[in-house]
A and B are shown apart, each in its own frame.
Chain A
Amino acid sequence: MDLQTTIYLVVGLTFALYIGIAVWARAGSTSEYYAAGGAVHPVLNGMATAADWMSAASFISMAGMIAYMGYGGGLFLMGWTGGYVLLAALLAPYLRKFGKFTVPQFIGDRFYSKTASTVAVVCLLVASLTYIIGQMTGVGVAFSRFLGVSNDMGIYVGMAIVFTYAVFGGMKGITYTQVAQYSVLIFAYVIPAIFISLALTGMPIPQLGLGSDMAGADKSLLATLNQVVTDLGFGQYTTHLPESKLNMFVYTMSLMIGTAGLPHVIMRFFTVPNVAAARSSAGWALVFIAILYTTAPAVGAMARMNLHATINPTVMTGGDVFAADAAIEAEKRPDWMKRWEATGLLKFEDKNGDGRIQYYNEKSKDEAFKAKAEAAGWKGNELTVNNDIIVLANPEIALLPNWVIALVAAGGLAAALSTAAGLLMAISAAISHDLVKGVFKPDISEKGELMAGKIAMALSIVVAGYLGLNPPGFAAGTVALAFGIAASSLFPAIMMGIFSKKMNKEGAMAGMIAGLAFTLFYVFAHKGIFFIKGTEYVDLIGGPNAFFGITPEAIGAIGALFNFAIAFLVDKMTKEPPEHIQHMVEAVRIPRGSKAVDGAH
């Protein structure tokens, strides 16, 4: 069977599975619609959370970013997993005990204020919508690269699939499709990694392969890779850090608290039967996430090694990389390179006209290296490699069979669709439950609310599809914003709501607004007001990364500090929350008396 047919077959089978689940798991009540009836087993919820959480970026882009960043890439690994420790110990069990459908409802009830809940809805909508643009474009990319249809067509098909299970099944349909999607994506990720690890080190487990010796040599893979990249003028792989240590620290912290504060992740813990299950389910979620996240650094390092070995084979033998015949001739480059050049993810330009490909760090600060490069007649780096190549072309680089390539296509789609569905659930619940029922029409019947939920979901899918088809120019910069908002506004508000009995509505609202304003101010300074080109005001704050060299992507944690500080200051100056709220906090802190989540306001 040829490659294209195999891909259609595998992707078609997975889609049939998702639709089958949609038919089986329809939601008949608001409890099923918002919380899958509160009866999901903690292990299954862990799997669904893992799929919910791991987006197109985790699946397609992360290994490539790590390959490029080396040691510094660890901030994504620690940041995007460490958040689950915070979620398990600080938020999930208490929010589950509180027992309501949505995150804004907790903030509204705990801070006895519709305004507080509406501020939370706004934070949620901005964070989730910016996030969903990336998923929709991811769906389009996966379709067009692997299935040979246009980007737009891919997005329409993706929207139709999500529509069938999200609108009719709500959280129930989404939960069980996410379980299936997790299974697809984890096989798709791990199988190529096993083959590659086996080929390079003779060790089938990639996590151990990364720490093993090279096959047939007594030098470790990482030491070899360090040698290879430094020979080509790049920073040493195991210590390379693009920004400062302080920035890595703050960036990691921002990703951790941002992860813990993202509503579509928190919501998943409303679907388990009780408080104890919420705790263990966070552990299971991290087990399933860690299977991919501990494989990713192996994929990144090994793919980088393979790439350098392909372009300049002498690096592997420790020979002279500057020799005239060291780099491969452009004519003889492998077919997979030509295929991916067609997509624009790989670009080759023969700058010095010698018919060979020189791939090295032209920005190296090592004078000796630069002198040698010049003496060898190198006129600059000739190969541009997009990060996404590392995962997408991995099976082809390693010469794996067609069905593995097809599996990677299905895995990329599963990762993007599962995250999109989770985000759509958070968005539609905030609209139908927190705005329609909470603010505009409190006397709506359960049937009416269920209908409102389905309409909100359908509309959200249309909006998400529209944004995917017409991605705003700022799409690339916005994922950082989603984490920044969750970290600086939602996480501190929820945490203080549980851990400070005396925190009042004035403090919480002032904190949320201060944290959000600070974060937006800093991000907009670098990237433009609402990401509009030309409106950057970075000179006004004293140049790029003026705040102790911290990059705008990493600023969320500082925003959270502002949030806490302002909240406590305002809280001290205003009056205590009412007695019954303090009792409510007491009740949220103990597990006994937990009940199925409901929507009563």
Chain B
Amino acid sequence: MSAPGNFDSNAYWKATLGLIGKVLAIWFICSFGLGIMFADQMNTISLGGYPLGFWFAHQGSMYIFVGLIFWYAKKMGDIDRKFDVHEE
């Protein structure tokens, strides 16, 4: 079965790209931003015994990535249902 006749593929794709944009922004900020580019500034703050920049590079980014994928999967499911193109 393909998409229903009144399916607005442009709006659906725009919503999808919007979500992917947010996902990639978070992905980029936590790893490349806080873990690499601004690691020195982050290191002036500490999280328990961790300097924060080091924590983002060795721990934090990975936890955020995991949460990010599940969040994306849920949001993408919402978009699918809104446009009625989800799987039965």
Contact = CB atoms under 8 A, between A and B. Distances in A.
B43 A239 contact: yes
B70 A587 contact: no
Which of B27, B31, B37, B63 is the most central at the interface, judged by chain A CB atoms within 10 Å of its CB? B31
Contact of A85 (B1, B23, B54): B23
Contact of B77 (A66, A207, A276): A276
Which of B49, B72, B88 is the most central at the interface, judged by chain A CB atoms within 10 Å of its CB? B49
B16 interface: yes
Interface string A315-334: 00000000000000000000
A154 interface: no
Interface residues of B, number: 49
A593 to B, nearest CB: 5
A213 B54 contact: no
Contacts of B23: 85, 89
A560 to B, nearest CB: 15
Interface in B1-35: 1-3, 7, 9, 12-13, 16, 20, 23-24, 27, 31-32, 35
Interface string B71-88: 011001100100111111
A24 B7 CA distance: 45
A222 B70 CA distance: 31
Majority secondary structure of chain A interface residues (helix, strand, loop or mixed)? helix
Given A77-B58, A207-B59, A297-B59, A252 B36 contact: yes
A260 to B, nearest CB: 12
A245 B1 contact: no
Contacts of B58: 66, 71, 73-74, 77, 210, 297
Contact of A82 (B16, B27, B48): B27
Contacts of B65: 81-82, 84-85, 286, 290
A221 interface: yes
Nearest to A66: B58
A594 B23 CA distance: 24
Interface of A: 66, 71, 73-75, 77-78, 81-82, 84-86, 88-90, 93, 207-208, 210-213, 220-223, 238-239, 245, 248-249, 252-253, 274-276, 279-280, 282-283, 286-287, 290, 293-294, 297, 586-587, 589-594
A593 B65 CA distance: 29
B57 A590 contact: no
15 contacts: A71-B57, A78-B31, A78-B62, A81-B61, A85-B72, A86-B27, A220-B48, A238-B43, A239-B43, A274-B87, A280-B70, A290-B65, A297-B59, A590-B3, A591-B80
A434 B51 CA distance: 50
A294 B54 contact: no
A93 to B, nearest CB: 8
B37 A245 contact: yes
Contacts of B59: 207, 210-211, 294, 297
Contact of B68 (A85, A274, A593): A85
A280 to B, nearest CB: 5
B35 A592 contact: no
A78 B86 CA distance: 32
A73 B35 CA distance: 12
Contacts of A252: 31-32, 36
Contacts of B51: 222, 238-239
Contacts of A238: 43, 51, 54
Contacts of B50: 210-211, 222
Contact of B72 (A210, A220, A279): A279
A211 B86 contact: no
A84 B65 CA distance: 8
A276 B65 CA distance: 18
A89 B24 CA distance: 9
A287 B51 CA distance: 24
A590 B62 contact: no
Nearest to B21: A89
Contacts of A77: 57-58, 61-62
Contacts of B86: 276, 591-592
B73 A211 contact: no
A233 to B, nearest CB: 21
B87 A287 contact: no
Nearest to B69: A283
Contacts of B66: 283, 286-287, 290
A390 B72 CA distance: 36
Given A81-B62, A276-B87, 18 more contacts: A71-B39, A71-B57, A74-B35, A74-B54, A74-B57, A77-B58, A84-B69, A85-B65, A220-B48, A220-B49, A239-B39, A239-B54, A279-B72, A279-B76, A589-B16, A590-B7, A590-B9, A590-B80
